[in-house]
Amino acid sequence: MIRGHFIVLEGIDGSGTTTQAERLRRRLDGEGLPVHVTAEPSTGPIGATIRQFLSGRLVTRLPSGISNPRWTTMALMFAADRQDHLEAEIEPNLRDGVNILCDRYMYSSIAYQSVTAGRADTTGWIAEINRYARKPDLAIYLRINPQEALQRCRERDRNVEMFDDPDLQRKIAQAYERLPELFPDVKIVTVDGGRSVEEVARECWAHVEALRAEGAPE
Ligand code: TYD
């Protein structure tokens, strides 16, 4: 059995990863190719706990009061969720020949957790705790102006979450720009996410077609 392609979508909040994952799913499905869309944090037990931390439903109790967990705790939780996600959902599907579209992956950890750490030299450790996370066949980074992304999030009228801060999102966008240099052995493509859904979808699909033209994954 030829394994499926493992494709991940990345970008700051409001960059359109969820919308574009769904568009790609439809295209692959339309071509009669097996496809499964998933996301991180996952729907598994660790992912569910992370979501509660992100929304403030769960907090850490310190002698000085309650607070969000520190970036180190969050990085380890995301890494643990990733391993669980790979084991329970991603790897079995890939083995069955199903293409996986994953809305966020370890590059979110590199960008978000290093920025909340406030130190760029933390990326080495974050990459290390994700060392055994399967390398994707393609990572699509949706680049968008943080101001525009924020506008989109406001239109969606979401509840406030841990990383909903304009200054933080601007820094996370800068961290994403360093990914190709940090991971030279990963195929990371940058797509201008500031255009219409249709235009962005067309370019994402072109990248997937190019990947498929290379043949079956190893
Ligand atoms: P979610 O509501 O799923 O994000 P989205 O806006 O993309 O729908 O929440 C995921 C949040 O978690 C998002 O702000 C990015 C963040 N995150 C990390 O900080 N590190 C990670 O490793 C992952 C996977 C997500």
pLDDT for res 161: 87
pTM of the model: 0.97
Query: Rounded to an integer, what distance in angstroms lies between the CA atom of residue 48 and that of residue 134?
Result: 22
Ligand 1 atom with the shortest distance to the CA of 11: 7
Q: Could you tell me which of 33, 22, 10 has the C-alpha nearest to residue 212?
A: 33
Pocket of ligand 1 (CB under 6 A): 13, 17-18, 40-41, 54, 78, 104, 108-109, 112-113, 163
Helices and strands: H and E segment counts in the chain: 11, 7
CA of 86 from ligand 1 middle (Å) equals 17
The residue to mutate among 8, 13, 74, having the most atoms of ligand 1 within 8 angstroms of its beta carbon, is: 13
Query: Rounded to an integer, what distance in angstroms lies between the CA atom of residue 144 and that of residue 150?
Result: 10
The residue to mutate among 18, 54, 144, having the most atoms of ligand 1 within 8 angstroms of its beta carbon, is: 54
As averages over each run of 10 residues, the pLDDT of the chain (218 residues) reads: 96 97 98 98 98 96 94 98 98 98 98 96 98 98 96 82 92 98 98 98 98 93
pLDDT for res 159: 76
pLDDT for res 15: 97
CA of 175 from ligand 1 middle (Å) equals 15
CA of 10 from ligand 1 middle (Å) equals 10
Ligand 1 atom with the shortest distance to the CA of 14: 6
| DSSP notation for 132-201 | TSPPPSEEEEEE--HHHHHHHHHHHTPPP-TT--HHHHHHHHHHHHTHHHH-TTS-EEEEETTS-HHHHH
pLDDT for res 163: 92
